[in-house]
Amino acid sequence: MPSPLNIGLIGAGRIGRVHAANLQRRIPDARVILVADPVEEAARAAADDFGIKFAVAEYQTVLQSPAVDAVVICSATHTHAAITMEAAAAGKHIFCEKPLDFDLAVIDQVLAAVKQAGVKLQMGFNRRFDANFARVRQAVTSGEIGTPRLMHIISRDPAPPPPAYIAVSGGMFLDMTIHDFDMARFLLGEEVTEVYAAAGVLVDPAIGAQGDVDSALITLKFASGAMGVIDNCRQAVYGYDQRVEILGSAGSASTGNIYPNAATISTAQAVRRDLPLNFFMERYTESYVTEMQAFVDAVRNDTPVPATGEDARAATALALAARVSFDTGKPVNMTR
């Protein structure tokens, strides 16, 4: 039986710990052998909690280790591009959380470096691996609902992030809507040709003071003529709101929110159920396992990764176009 894939984890924050737990406990054909974080105490804590043998502060130690086959990059966003290029030069296969960068020219440099090195790069678009969204995608690809005509993606967070996060996240279109841009391309399997964004500050004035928005409706036109709308808000008081519907010529496919239980309580006063799962860590638990298993399989079997660097570039381009559209009040043509 082939030996497990040896992985080096770079970044031991919230999402890094999620991947460490999944790799160590739920993916038997991979193991994390080294974790790095500039806060060495965080690296040591992850090592202790998940049975990782070595913990260091410098990510270069991970890249220089001949025992490491692949790296999982969960470091601060502004470091993704540089670390990815260094990892490629070191001959390591790469899983990187989104985004690669906020600058398309920098992303192009990263993709060129990965191609030149001949290594694999999978991006952390975990929603592609959610069983519910995957079933909607299957309904499109199989022709089950005919030719897609309209798509509606609803993505609303339970509470707005702090201003300090907004200052480094790139703004709502790049830190939140980017997942929905990727889902739009993934679900319909075609490119967006036009983006128009209407947005505003309806939740938290502190977000507006940072130059960002917290509520938006973004309309999309696709190469086939199909149309879509993305509905975003930084606050939904009832919990994490994640829904999709696609209307086709022969039917529709949709998926709703996930709840902690399926119970319905009926009384003389009301019929109710509990609130949906509160945030992405609970809602997408299984998708994080599935996406990492897909990466491990792609490396071990030398097959294509299912969420590429090119996908990351396309989603970033749409996010940047949405901001231009909001700033100018005009639609942005993506084919020019």
pLDDT digits (tens, 9 = 90+) for 128-180: 999 999 999 999 999 999 999 999 999 999 999 988 888 889 999 999 999 99
CATH of domain 5-119: 3.40.50.720
- Break the chain into its structural domains and give their ranges: 5-119, 128-284+314-333
Cα(197)–Cα(200) distance, integer angstroms: 10
What is the chain's length? 336
pTM of the model: 0.94
**Residue 282, pLDDT score:** 81
**Which tokens go with 231?**
């509905």
The pLDDT > 70 percentage for the chain reads 100
Q: What is the DSSP string of 189-229?
A: TS-EEEEEEEEE--S-HHHHHTT--SEEEEEEEETTS-EEE
To 5 degrees, how large is the angle CA 96–CA 8–CA 294? 50
Whether residue 40 has pLDDT greater than 70:
yes
User: What pLDDT, on the 0 to 100 scale, is given for residue 171?
Assistant: 94
pLDDT per position as a tens digit, 79-88: 999 999 999 9
Phi, psi of 251 (to 5 degrees): 155, -165
Q: How confident is the model at residue 283 (pLDDT cuts 50, 70, 90)?
A: confident
CA distance 25 to 46: 13
Tens digits of per-residue pLDDT, 313-336?
A: 999 999 999 999 999 999 999 998
* Same fold? 5-119, 128-284+314-333: no
What is the average pLDDT score of the chain? 96
Give the fold, CATH level 3, of 128-284+314-333.
Answer: Dihydrodipicolinate Reductase; domain 2 (3.30.360)
